[in-house]
């Protein structure tokens, strides 16, 4: 039994647990450009957003002043049931790699929803309840966000209407099952419950649906149903705000043992997980202090940061949402079928995009899924946790950084985000086990097609 000074899992007591979210926007000297109204192309104001989103969430969305926003007691009571999430020193992995690096990971997959999405879902459901709403609508593809929101609504006694991409609903009946167990109403999209759904069905009755279509249906259902609003699980500022709990807990835990990361690594699809993990350390960077090197990891099949354009674009494929200034492949870009469903998004959080554009996020790295699954399967055996394919992207780069340290002898401290469990992704692991997994790298021509659809706005 090793007598190690730092335990395998660093624990935070309730007293040590963060009581407020951290709003990184307050520290950004160059704020990101405002969202634009899709019809007027003028910056959206609260009154534009209030019919769609809960009032308090709109305030948070537009808030670039307050550094800390108190976590409501009712949300904290829920957090306490599954948080603080484990901050793990990966001793077994370090030993297996023979690296002098110290590797830490923050594991968000231990709750029933299986990912970090619950951190924002419970906050959004709380504000909806507080506003006296009857319920919320949303869309879900793979099902992580829909599951998290169903749990949150079940807890607060809110109605939850989930538009689930039809092909996913057919392929993942159990995801639907868990949402229904938490009381959600799951509708395969496109459906005949909305105008946009009926229109799409009329044009193409056999379609399996798409996330863009599900978003459009969920928004329409929200604005046309009394007492309902629409909620979203990534990309938005409010979501990154709520997800800051990940980084705040990680930092509090590491500071108990005098640890400060040299490198912070997170996978990035819409940006909620990386944005949350890095937030409190980004504050150091923005204040000109010593700070970690930040690495965003994205799938080579959907490389918005590494190969996208920094431009105004729609947040959805259906092109009904406001325009955001972000790294994007174009709202019409169709990523190849890749197993990290949570990273298959054409754009990137405006906060992450601006920080990357300004050089505060040091590096974006695109990795192919075969090397991702190699790393994920290795991690599963050594550290006893089967990672979500999304999280596997962060693991891949953490391994590569640790192996670099082995070559150079550097004793770097590496922190990465393990955002979810792979328990719902076994079809992908089985393909990997059989050796039939392939990488899908878009050609420059593929990308040009996506860019061609970008709105002409600057």
Residues near a second copy (CB under 8 A) are: 1-2, 7-9, 11, 13-14, 19, 73, 76-78, 80-82, 88, 91-92, 110-112, 114, 151, 154-155, 173-174, 176-178, 180-183, 377, 380-386, 421, 423-424, 426-427, 429-430, 432-433
CB of 5 to a second copy, least distance (A): 11
Specify the residue, 178 or 278, whose C-beta has the smaller distance to a second copy: 178
In whole angstroms, the minimum distance from the beta carbon of 329 to a second copy comes to 31
Our CB check for a second copy shows the closer of 30 and 181 to be 181
Q: How far is the CB of 391 from a second copy (least distance, A)?
A: 13
CB of 256 to a second copy, least distance (A): 12
For a second copy, the closer of residues 151 and 279 by Cβ is 151
> Residue 198, CB half-sphere, CA atoms under 13 Å: how many?
6
Give the shortest CB-90-to-a second copy separation in angstroms: 9
Which residue number, 145 or 345, has a Cβ lying nearer to a second copy? 145
CB closer to a second copy, 381 vs 404: 381
Nearer residue to a second copy within complex by CB, 185 or 198 = 185
Task: List the one residue out of 401, 188, 113, 391 whose CA is nearest residue 273.
Answer: 391
Tell the smallest beta-carbon distance from residue 334 to a second copy (Å).
27
Contact 102, 412 (CB under 8 A): yes
Pick between residue 178 and residue 326 the one whose CB is nearest to a second copy: 178
Q: Which residues pair with 366 in a beta bridge?
A: 298
CB of residue 73 vs a second copy: minimum separation in angstroms?
4
């Amino acid at each position: 039994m090793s007598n190690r000074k730092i335990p395998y899992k660093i624990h935070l007591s309730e007293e040590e647990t963060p009581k407020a979210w951290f709003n990184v926007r307050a520290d950004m000297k160059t704020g990101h450009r405002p969202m634009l109204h899709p019809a007027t192309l003028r910056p959206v104001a609260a009154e534009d957003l209030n019919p769609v989103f809960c009032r308090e969430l709109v305030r948070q969305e537009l808030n670039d002043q307050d550094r800390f926003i108190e976590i409501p007691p009712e949300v904290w009571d829920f957090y306490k049931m599954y948080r603080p999430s484990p901050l793990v020193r990966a001793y077994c992995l370090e030993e297996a790699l023979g690296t002098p690096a110290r590797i830490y990971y923050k594991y968000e997959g231990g709750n029933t929803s299986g990912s970090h999405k619950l951190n924002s879902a419970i906050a959004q459901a709380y504000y909806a309840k507080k506003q006296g709403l009857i319920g919320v609508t949303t869309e879900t593809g793979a099902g992580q966000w829909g599951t998290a929101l169903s749990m949150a609504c079940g807890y607060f006694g809110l109605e939850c209407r989930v538009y689930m991409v039809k092909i996913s609903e057919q392929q993942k009946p159990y995801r639907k099952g868990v949402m229904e167990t938490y009381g959600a109403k799951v509708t395969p999209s496109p459906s005949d419950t909305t105008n946009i759904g009926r229109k799409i069905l009329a044009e193409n009755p056999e379609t399996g649906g798409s996330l863009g279509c599900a978003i459009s249906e969920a928004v329409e259902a929200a604005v046309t149903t009394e007492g309902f609003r629409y909620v979203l699980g990534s990309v938005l500022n409010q979501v990154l705000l709520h997800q800051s709990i990940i980084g705040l807990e990680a930092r509090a835990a590491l500071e108990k043992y005098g640890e400060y990361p040299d490198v912070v690594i997170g996978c990035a699809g819409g940006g909620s997980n990386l944005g949350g993990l890095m937030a409190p350390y980004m504050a150091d960077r923005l204040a000109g202090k010593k700070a970690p090197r930040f690495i965003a990891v994205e799938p080579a099949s959907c490389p918005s940061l590494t190969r996208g354009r920094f431009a105004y674009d729609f947040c959805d494929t259906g092109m009904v949402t406001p325009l955001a200034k972000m790294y994007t492949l174009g709202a019409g870009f169709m990523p190849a079928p890749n197993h990290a469903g949570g990273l298959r998004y054409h754009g990137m959080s405006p906060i992450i995009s601006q920080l990357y554009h300004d050089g505060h996020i040091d590096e974006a790295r695109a990795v192919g899924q075969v090397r991702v699954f190699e790393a994920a399967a290795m991690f599963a055996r050594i550290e006893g946790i089967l990672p979500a394919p999304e999280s596997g992207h962060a693991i891949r780069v953490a391994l590569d950084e640790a192996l670099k340290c082995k070559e150079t002898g550097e004793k770097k401290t590496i922190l990465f985000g393990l955002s979810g469990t792979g328990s719902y992704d076994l079809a992908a692991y089985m393909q990997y086990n059989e050796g039939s997994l392939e990488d899908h790298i878009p050609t420059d021509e593929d990308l040009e097609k996506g860019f061609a659809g970008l709105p002409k706005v600057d």
